[in-house]
Amino acid sequence: MKITIDKTRCTGSGHCVKACPVGAITLQNGKAVIDHEKCDLDGICIPACPHDAISLEE
């Protein structure tokens, strides 16, 4: 499983960056990017995104 970001929906608001307790999300070129080595799959970032750009996939 991994958390993914839909780049077409991401606006770079940074809400997910602030929500991630392990610092696995950064903004690059105005879009959120996940460092999957740091991500602990807790999913806190998913509801933090106001644009529904983040999801958990198998």
At the top level of CATH, the class of 2-57 is: alpha beta
pTM: 0.92
Which of the four pLDDT bands, split at 50, 70 and 90, describes residue 2? very high
d(CA 14, CA 10): 9
Instruction: Decide if 32 contacts 25 (C-beta within 8 A).
Output: yes
pLDDT digits (tens, 9 = 90+) for 7-56: 999 999 999 999 999 999 999 999 999 999 999 999 999 999 999 999 99
Joined tokens for residue 3: 């958390």
Kind of pairing between the strands at 25-28 and 54-57:
unpaired
